[in-house]
A and B are shown apart, each in its own frame.
Chain A
Amino acid sequence: MSVAALDVSILGPAFVAGLLVVATHVPLGREVLARGIVFIDLAIAQIAGLGVIAADALGWEPQGFAVQIAAVTAALLGALALTFTEKRWPEIQEALIGVSFVLAATAGILLLANNPHGGEHLKDLLVGQILWVSYNQLVPIALLTAAILALWFGAGAKLGRIGFYATFAFAVTASVQLVGIYLVFASLIVPALAIRRLSGWPALWRGYALGALGYALGIVASALYDLPTGAVVVCALALTAGLAAVGVSVKRRAA
């Protein structure tokens, strides 16, 4: 155990990043579960990464803003294609998502065969590390989060299928660079699983509380036991959500 790393200035930005991710991913995750397309975030993130590699292959200077444009454009195109397939072949949507993940990942490898520096950008894009986050980086993410939440809760059902996929593309492209693919998946699915039997605000605030608790416990545990933060947070999220789900079912049986 080491207490030295238990420092708000070290752990604070990571926790705020986690809260921002949870804010959009809990409601999105409920929708993802309802539609039965849990691997969509992997596919969208991989397609965003493919966009960056493709931009690099086309000779764009892949720095800063250009990377983000390339990533979001690719993610949106991917989202659009998935909107179409869901409408056309809803019964095989999850399989198609899986296939698009594998295709995007391998297309990336093939493009990289002659363009290795794109690999660094792909890696940056998919393996964000939550501890390297700084408050400055969080400002644009906070704005994006606010916009997504306003749209989500403002427009509600009017967003429709295209609205959902497009919102999802923006949210995941941003969060995956911040905290990495494992945490994005866990933040999206784990709290949503724990609250799946509830609905409306009671579901939502419990999901938020579980997410925040999971991040807080995970970040503190990683400081105390000197372990990689992202991986510990994933475990902590699973643990808190699992205990909450057990608690709910025990209460239900008792009632």
Chain B
Amino acid sequence: MKKLTSLLAGLLFLAASPTHADLKVFACEPEWAALARELGGDKVSAFSATTPRQDPHHIEARPSLIARLRQADLSVCTGADLEIGWMPALLRQAGNSKVQPGQAGYFEAASVVERLEIPTVLDRSLGDIHAGGNPHIHTDPRRIAVVADKLGERLAIVDPANAGYYDERRQAFAQRWRRAIEEWSKRAAPLKGLRAVAHHRDWIYLYDWLGIEDAGTLEAKPGIPPSAAHLAALKAALTREPARVVIRTPYQDPRPSEWIAREAALRAVVLPYTVGGTPGAKDLYTLFDETIRLLLEAPA
């Protein structure tokens, strides 16, 4: 009998214990869900609104997205207009005051790092450009380090009861991540000066980190299919100054990059782009392991 009571008490304790009252994180993209898990450990449960095979610029509306955001304590998105097509509508439908812009429960990763390609003039003839600069910041692990620091602090703010736990994890992650970056930088040294063509301007932060040379983009204007003239000019430029690879994400149409790979003798490479993008990219660490491995494997 005594055993039974203690068992029941234990069950009750489990049911009421804070591990079951996880901090609910709604991430817009898999990389931020992964980062929240690194930083929050078993105190958070993170959900990603998009899968690695989905273009985060556009998603289809599902009821569960509204339900998830409604229950969330913290939303973590890239920002810089990446999710402009769906996040405002989702925030409105969810009506969760904790995660609205301006609240502690609303976190935009791009707003805490230095962004590239911030247009000096917003000219609509230049394409589907983002006023906040290029939003694909997570392809540079140094920027992820900055985001991790701020996100860790934010976790401690929205869940003060576990602030000590988050601080510890934030510092541990910072250390481990710094060592990982050193290791990757060393391994990726041969990639410096590698000339790469990209499908969309998703990789400029990776270029910025590894010193990869931008040899052009298949989409002359972001978001618009390339014209014949643009492709011809790109091919001519690549004949004059050859490049080695053409990079795309798993969710992009393979045809344009395979075309240019054929025409200009490039190697077409699919990089994971985010956690889960390829089977090997299981977390943030293996994401960069894979990215560098795939680039190094492309023959000269």
Residues of A within 8 A of B (CB): 2, 4-7, 9-11, 112-117, 119-120, 123, 129-132, 134, 219, 222-223, 226-231
| Given A129-B89, A131-B93, A134-B93: A116 in contact with B223 (beta carbons within 8 A) | yes
Tell whether, in the assembled complex, residue A229 and residue B61 are in contact, meaning their CB atoms are under 8 Å apart: yes
Distance in Å: Cβ of B292 to nearest Cβ of chain A: 33
- Interface residue from B61, B67, B127, B227 paired with A228 (Cβ < 8 Å): B61
| Given A116-B127, A117-B128: A223 in contact with B224 (beta carbons within 8 A) | no
B60 within 8 A of A: yes
| Residues of chain B in range 55-87 having any CB-CB distance to chain A below 8 Å | 58, 60-64, 66-68, 70-71, 85-86
Tell whether, in the assembled complex, residue B223 and residue A228 are in contact, meaning their CB atoms are under 8 Å apart: no
| Given A116-B128, A134-B93, A227-B62: A5 in contact with B221 (beta carbons within 8 A) | no
B124 within 8 A of A: yes
Closest to A6 in B: B63
In the complex, how many residue pairs between chain A and chain B have their CB atoms under 8 Å apart? 80
Tell me which residues across on chain A come within 8 A of B127, comparing CB atoms: 116
18 A/B residue pairs, CB under 8 Å, sorted by A:
A4-B68, A5-B63, A5-B67, A7-B70, A9-B95, A10-B63, A114-B125, A115-B125, A116-B221, A119-B128, A119-B224, A123-B85, A131-B66, A131-B93, A219-B63, A226-B63, A228-B62, A229-B61
Tell me which residues across on chain B come within 8 A of A9, comparing CB atoms: 95
Q: How many residues of B contact A (CB 8 A)?
A: 26
| Residues of chain B in range 82-139 having any CB-CB distance to chain A below 8 Å | 85-86, 89-90, 92-93, 95, 124-125, 127-128
Determine the main DSSP class of A at the interface with B: helix
| Given A119-B128, A129-B89, A132-B89: A112 in contact with B63 (beta carbons within 8 A) | no
Taking each of B64, B124, B221, which has the highest tally of chain A beta carbons within 10 Å of its own beta carbon?
A: B64
Tell whether, in the assembled complex, residue B61 and residue A4 are in contact, meaning their CB atoms are under 8 Å apart: no
Distance in Å: Cβ of A62 to nearest Cβ of chain B: 11
Tell whether, in the assembled complex, residue B227 and residue A113 are in contact, meaning their CB atoms are under 8 Å apart: yes
| Given A10-B93, A115-B124, A115-B125: A131 in contact with B61 (beta carbons within 8 A) | yes
Tell whether, in the assembled complex, residue B60 and residue A10 are in contact, meaning their CB atoms are under 8 Å apart: no
Tell me which residues across on chain A come within 8 A of B62, comparing CB atoms: 5, 131, 222, 226-229
Tell me which residues across on chain B come within 8 A of A223, comparing CB atoms: 63-64
Tell whether, in the assembled complex, residue B224 and residue A116 are in contact, meaning their CB atoms are under 8 Å apart: yes
Tell whether, in the assembled complex, residue B64 and residue A117 are in contact, meaning their CB atoms are under 8 Å apart: no
Tell me which residues across on chain B come within 8 A of A226, comparing CB atoms: 62-64
